[in-house]
Amino acid sequence: MALAEKASSPLFYLRAQTQWRPVEIAFWLAVLLPYALFPNYLSLASQIAIAGMFALSLDLILGYAGIVSLGHAAFFGVGAYTAGLLSKHGWGEPVSGLVAAAIVAGLVGYATSFVICRFRHLALIMLTLGFGLLLAELANSLGWLTGGMDGLQGIHTWKLLGYFHFDLYGYTAFGYALAVLFVVFLFARRLIHSPFGLSLRGIRENFVRMPAIGAPSRSHIRTIYTIAAAIAGIAGALLTETTQTVSLDSLDLSRSADVLVMLVLGGAGRLYGGLVGAVIYMVARDQFSGIAPQYWYFWIGLLLVAVVILLPNGILGGLAKLALRGSRS
């Protein structure tokens, strides 16, 4: 049983996890399909890529570290406003805008993480909710900076890399969003399959016991929270740069709720959960945009109840279970 021995060693486990599986390669090839199949929907496709990245950032803290956040839009909004303000005041270079947004959102995340890592359960949920609401209210009252209810006016994004113009049809926007998403995804994948990623899962399962085996729970949570905030900031900045607008709804509570729904729908604690959830959620919302928002809420609510009762690990969790059952029989 040399194989079993090998399989039980942590190094072997981590290496096996980092191997690219064919279905993953197929997924990343399939995301290029909109260029060929739905050229009229490229702006929706770039919105999906952005939402997917946002959901991925939530997955890092919720799915892997077990921090239930109801205020993750705070970092999305900080990133969006950072890129928007830079552009408004004369610096519309997109890539450095992303970097700036990541740094600012990461700093805000780092500052709040000192509070976040000290709490669990209900107090944690309430604190994330409170920070989100606080920031949204702050942006609303600082009208001179953020433009208040009207949103930020006069954003102009320069050509990407000095060459690609952001066109009306979203060719550049989609390519740009996909490229950034892929880079961020590679980073998240590497992170999750590292010993650090493993210890995060340990913290999720038992916050108190992990320090006993040498994984400081609090500092790990601070690190991952900062990283997730920076990624959410990048997602927000991408939205600003590709749509050339920022408004208060980038900080809204409903954005935090939406991203939670996407992640749970796809499957929390899985790298592709947020991406799959974002595709399904955004396409469904686009298709049903004709119906009144309160009825859209009704169906989303029904979906949430169904997912919690029937598919506790989301769509990907359900598929994995089916696949496991198939391979056994």
Binding site for another protein (CB under 8 A): 62, 68, 70, 115, 118-119, 121-123, 125-127, 129-131, 133-134, 137-138, 140-141, 253, 257, 260-261, 264, 268, 292, 294-295, 297-305, 307-309, 312
- Shortest distance, position 129 Cβ to another protein, whole Å: 7
- Shortest distance, position 40 Cβ to another protein, whole Å: 30
39 vs 130, beta carbon nearer another protein: 130
49 vs 261, beta carbon nearer another protein: 261
Amino acid (one-letter) located at 42: L
- Shortest distance, position 76 Cβ to another protein, whole Å: 18
- Shortest distance, position 132 Cβ to another protein, whole Å: 9
Burial 160-185 (b: 16+ CB within 10 A, else e): beeeeebeeebbbbbbbbbebbeebb
- Shortest distance, position 39 Cβ to another protein, whole Å: 34
The first and second tokens of residue 309, run together, are 């009762």
214 burial level (CB within 10 Å; 0-12, 13-18, 19+): exposed
**CA–CA distance from 62 to each of 56, 58, 259 (Å)?**
10, 6, 11
- Shortest distance, position 70 Cβ to another protein, whole Å: 8
70 vs 228, beta carbon nearer another protein: 70
287 vs 294, beta carbon nearer another protein: 294
Q: How many CB atoms lie within 10 A of CB 204?
A: 18
C-alpha closest to that of 232 among 113, 56, 63, 40: 56
99 vs 133, beta carbon nearer another protein: 133
131 vs 166, beta carbon nearer another protein: 131
Tell me the C-alpha distance between 75 and 81, whole Å.
10
- Shortest distance, position 247 Cβ to another protein, whole Å: 18
Tell me the C-alpha distance between 314 and 264, whole Å.
6
Tell me the C-alpha distance between 304 and 299, whole Å.
9
User: For residues 69 and 58, is the Cβ–Cβ distance under 8 A?
Assistant: yes
17 vs 201, beta carbon nearer another protein: 201
- Shortest distance, position 72 Cβ to another protein, whole Å: 13
Which residues is 160 bridged to in the sheet?
Answer: 164
12 vs 299, beta carbon nearer another protein: 299
170 vs 277, beta carbon nearer another protein: 277
- Shortest distance, position 12 Cβ to another protein, whole Å: 30
- How many residues does the structure list for the chain? 329
